[in-house]
């Protein structure tokens, strides 16, 4: 079964082009990432289980369907926070968690500085959000921690991915599905995606010129 899904919808590709442009200002970057994340919510939840419920329309009684088990949306901080509102707007029944992990280039390892999940996370499906999957190290560390808490199926949603990052993540976690808009050409010497969109966190929060 294919574990990487690339969504080539024209509207998403249009918004991605704007997101990539260095001329796009921080406020517009935040809006675009929010909109893209909401659209990606459809693809990442298409296999959620449904249950039958009794309702009444203005005209008659009927049976409808609603999501049986609400997922947890987990943001990989900082940049994942830029996707969180878009996902929660589309999935208001979901709960949310945050993981703060970064790769320290001096010690050549990942460092965790924050971890918070809802108390009832065991067995629940997780949508893991981070705009960029580059080397894969941070994503792997986050998934390691999620599995320690006994969560259920994990789907990672990104804007851009590298083949190297996808291969490495699936080597350690072959059960995880990855959804993205583009698979990038390469990584540079600093581990940045090419052509990419720059540092998503910096562009979201205007922390560099």
Mark the ranges of the chain whose per-residue pLDDT is less than 50.
none
So where are the chain's domains? 4-45+70-205
Pairing of strands 177-180, 154-157: parallel
Burial of 148-158, coded b for 16+ CB within 10 Å and e otherwise, reads eeebeebbbbb
Give the pLDDT score at 40.
95
* CATH 3.40.50.2020 is held by the domain 4-45+70-205: yes
pTM for this one?
Answer: 0.92
Give the pLDDT score at 209.
62
CA distances from 96 to 34, 73, 88, 129, 203 (A): 16, 5, 8, 11, 23
Give the pLDDT score at 198.
93
């Amino acid at each position: 079964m294919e574990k990487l899904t690339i969504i080539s919808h024209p509207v998403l590709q249009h918004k991605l082009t704007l997101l990539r442009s260095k001329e796009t200002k921080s406020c517009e970057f935040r809006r675009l990432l929010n909109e893209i994340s909401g659209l990606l919510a459809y693809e990442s939840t298409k296999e959620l289980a449904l249950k039958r419920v009794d309702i009444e329309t203005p005209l008659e009684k009927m049976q409808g369907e609603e999501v049986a088990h609400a997922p947890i949306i987990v943001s990989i901080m900082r940049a994942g926070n830029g996707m969180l509102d878009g996902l929660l707007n589309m999935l208001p029944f979901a709960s949310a968690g945050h993981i703060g992990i970064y790769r320290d280039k001096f010690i050549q390892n990942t460092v965790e500085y924050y971890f918070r999940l809802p108390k009832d996370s065991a067995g629940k499906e997780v949508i893991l959000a981070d705009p960029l999957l580059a080397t894969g190290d941070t994503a792997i560390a986050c998934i390691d921690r999620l599995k320690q808490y006994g969560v259920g199926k994990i789907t990672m949603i990104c804007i851009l991915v590298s083949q190297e990052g996808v291969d490495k993540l699936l080597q350690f976690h072959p059960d995880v599905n990855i959804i993205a808009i583009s698979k990038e050409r390469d990584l540079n010497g600093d581990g940045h995606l090419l052509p990419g969109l720059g540092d998503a966190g910096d562009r979201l929060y205007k922390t560099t010129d």
